[in-house]
Structure 1
Amino acid sequence: MNRLSSIGRGALLATLLAASSPAFSQAIVQQPTPNADRLSAQMRILATNPSDLAALIEAGRLSTRLGDPEAAVQFFARAEKVSPADPRVLAGRGSALLAMERPGEALRLFTAAERAGLAASYFAADRGLALDLLGYPTNAQRDYRLALANERDDEVVRRLALSLGITGDARAANQLLDPLLRLNDRAAWRVHACVLAMQGDVAGADKIAAAMLPGFGAQLAPFFRRLPSLAPADRAFAVHFGRLGTTPARIADARLAPAVTPLPRAEAPVAVAAAETAAPAKPARTRRPSARERRAAAAAARRETQARQREAEVAAARKAEADRVAQAAEAARAAEAARAAEAKRVADAARAAEAARTAQAAAAAEQARRAEAERLAEAQRAEQAARTAEAQRLAEAARLADAQRAAAAAAAEEARGAAADAPAQVASAPTPPVAAHSDAAAAAADTTLATIIRNLTIPATELGVAPLPTAAPAPGIAAAATTPAPVAPAPVAPKPEPAKPVPAKAEPKPEPTKAAAKEAKSAKGKAADDDAKTTAKAKAKAAKPDPAKQNPAREWVQVAGGANKADLPKEYRALAAKAPALKGRSAWTTPLRFTNRLLVGPFKTDDEAQAFVNTLKKQGVTGFTWTSEAGQKIEQLPK
């Protein structure tokens, strides 16, 4: 907008020319106004009842008078929701738009309010200003007079004086301003300066500006010199809003105004002197105009013609500019619609691509989780099978060792029994056959021990394997398989015939040798030691606690694993921070080949463990159920 900055006097000129606006005048003079108090009262009413129609309308009108049209528009919008058909709302919105320099829209709303039945005197003062700004000063003067007939308002008087100055009637304007000038109304003095400038009296306008604003009057001279050459509408915008020249926004707004029929200019009343009643009336004589008068009339006609031509040119320019602005606005709207459509298309494509990526990532993650769970389950099954095979192997080896020890003990017992019988036979035989008898006893003992070991059979049930499917043996064969073969008696050397007694001297009875006695004593001691060791082992085995009772088979949920046992508590805390279901539960661990399991539990049943796995999955943590064997040690981790 072409404010006064176009002539280098923007701020000062706005101060002078906007004096007719009550909000601007109050901002300059800083005088208290009752409108603010009345607005405060209406706001208190609205605080109690936000839907009070009268308070909303009055608050909007007062906001407009106080120079806050934006707030006024908000109040009228709320009032329209309460009563959409109230014409006062239309008139109030028109006044607010007028304060926002949109007279075309304001005049349209005033016309709609009048058609809805609202009296024109309600908005006559503001409609008069709208007509002035649109270039219809005579129509505006009629509305100003209508408003003054209803209620005298100094602001309306100043507006009427400016309108008379626009049409060139400076005398009538000064007559209206005279009472206010006598009261030293500064706003009236500013209006008076503008009226003088519009009539070409720039010097008089400068004197008033110098008196009202000492030190700044000379800076307003360029503006005063521009006023006489402006069209009526441009003059109105200049003296009311301080704006020089037309703008696309003004032209577009003017196209929104309804059609207005210009009123003829009212002629000033002519004062006729009173004639004496006694003097007879003389017939009027027709006087021929002088050459000077004819030249003046011709000049006035030329000026009128030129003024009309200028108005026509301005109207044509306004129309062309309005068409151009409308076309530009339409093109801008089309471009904006195209941009919005393209942006929507791009956004939809981006959302679809993002959804596809998200679905693909979720599918990949789910597949990875399933593969990991299957791998862990397979590892668990392999580990379980390996443990079972190892347990069976160890059990078989232990049973074989026990059986061998039992067979050895039986063979030793048999040998001791055979050795115990040997001395008696030696005592009754001569010395040479004794050695042969001892060798035969040892050979018999070896043969007996070999026979026992060879015929030893361990049942398949004790070895932990299923018996082979074979045909049932004959009773005799089965008995031979399960019953040890009879031990053949050791061959006894033939007793030598006793010598005939000698009458003279009887031969003494031979005694057992020291070596044989020592061997028999050693065999008995060894047997006693073996019995003592066997008894001690049996007692120790009975006193040793059963691992299966201390660690029975239980149900667990494995959530992770790791080679370093010390890092498992930290890993569990990280999982608990992600899954609330882990909080408050204890963490356990057990070795798994070269790594360690991270367990949660124990659980009463496999179904309860699986339900906990499902809960963890919903919270973003994967796991699977696992059953510990009886006797397998499970260690609790520190928190």
Structure 2
Amino acid sequence: MNRFPSIGRGALLATLLVASTPALAQAIVQQPTPNADRLSAQMRILATSPNDIAALIEAGRLSTRLGDPEAAVQFFARADKVVPGDARVMAGRASALLAMERPGEALRLFTAAERAGMPVSTFAADRGLAYDLLGYPTNAQRDYRLALANEQDDEVTRRLALSLGITGDVRAANQLLDPLLRQNDRPAWRAHACVLAMQGDAAGADRIAATMLPGFGAQLAPFFRRLQSLSPADRAFAVHFGRLGSTPARLADARLAPPITPAPRAQAPVAVAAVVAQPAQPTRKLSARERRAARREIEARQREAELAAARKAEADRVAQVAEAARAAEAARAAEAARLAEAARVAAATRAAQDAAAEAARREHAERLAQAARAAEAARVAEAQRLAEAARLADAQRAAVAAEAQEARSVAAAAPVPAAAAPTPPAPARSDAAATATDTTLATIIRNLTIPATELGVRPPPSAAPAPAAPVATAPVEPEPSAREREAADKAARDKAAADRAAKDKAAADKAAKDKATKATAAKKAAAEKAAKAKAKLDPAKQEPARQWVQVAGGANKADLPKAYRALSTKSAALKGRSTWTAPLRATNRLLVGPFKTDGEAQAFVNTLAKQGLSAFVWSSEPGQKIEQLPK
């Protein structure tokens, strides 16, 4: 019985086989298997006893064998909470991690399980594969032989043959595969083709692919031709998982492995059997001394062969580590170049933004300075106009006062006749200022009334004394000259210019303020848009980790709603709930949920179990796409 499922189910050849016959793949997925029946039985136990440690461990092992290592890891995590440090849990989780292409972490758990007292023979087949994937084929071959000593298993036999092919022992590998090839075992033929390709016989591998895998020979030819140039670890990943090249995740996982001592190369049991089966050649009987010498020589040769194998394995491991270091260094250099380019672009962008902001600031400052200069010029012009007007007014008042004083002096000194003598005409003046002064003086004299007592004349006796005429005290406003009018016009124009400059300055200040407000709003909007875009691109935010209940599965996603409707007729708890799906290699999960907690999901599983349906709790990873199905 094949107790160990093909961990290398993701290998290139197996993938091509499944992809070539989707109807056959669907039939295989949907066909009941003993392991699936046993898993359903364990799920029924867990529905009534969620903390049953034996059921949790068995459910994890069966999930790994059925090709669902993610669910297996969750079962073992629940088991570890019930019984922390259980060796069975550590070994089972290690096998699940190995199926997820994480041999370094798996080997660390296998070592912990061995220290906890678990026999190595129970997990030797999977630990051997972990050694192969980490580049230690001689250690892997030792574990494979230990597993085969306990129980013969076709999958372990194929793994041992592939490991012998990795180390170049084609004859031993072919002897192991020969019984399976005679039974027309297709996985054995695939292993045989890979062994030939690893030793440079790509043509022979092509013939096997063309015969046993018709239609895929041309597609597999590039794969076969690359196997010979790969390191031991890369060869193992290629023939078991179809991976042609190292990744950062693989390198990180390899660093989790505990220290490994390369095992010496041992002679395969099949090769020994072949030697024993050969007819003995007639020879003379050797003496005890000769037999001891021959035995010592054979032992010395074996030690030399073992040392050579160990040195080769160590050299291969050093080469693999060096290659990994070169790949990591190249990745670091590429990342550093990317970051430097991003920093340069960011610096150039910031410099351009700063230059634009500085130019805008200078332009605004220049407009403000121009407005200030225009306002200052208007203020100075207005002050000069007012000063000139005040000076002219003072000069005019002084001239009027002097003329009035002169007139009074003349009037007091001259004899007063009975009738008023005519006023002699004033001497003519040629300039405009003299004309303006004469006009002002004449106006004052015409309005001036001198009392009779001051002139020595008494009023007539029969007449009442005439009331004295009031002396005008209000200042006489002179008629403005052309120069004054021009100065007034200039002052008005300057004031209008100052008003316009003030309005322009206010408008410029408001425009600058509006521009700054708009720039701030634009930056804020851009930051919000970038944050939204970043959140939109982050798959972990769009698809967080959630709890689901898997009720069924199938290869054809379009048939899942129909299958769910059929289940709903059997269980009232399923009616009215939304259904979802997530891919699982060649099939798809049929999910119900999401649930807020693991306990709520388990309670729903228990409800379904009471209604005769088996289901189990499944947790999606952050960023994993879960698609809702139509009703």
Q: Which TM bucket (shorter chain)?
A: 0.3 to 0.5
Q: Under a length normalisation based on structure 1, what TM-score does the superposition of the two structures give?
A: 0.43
Select the structure with the greater relative contact order (CA < 8 A; seq sep ≥ 6).
2
TM-score, scaled relative to structure 2: 0.43
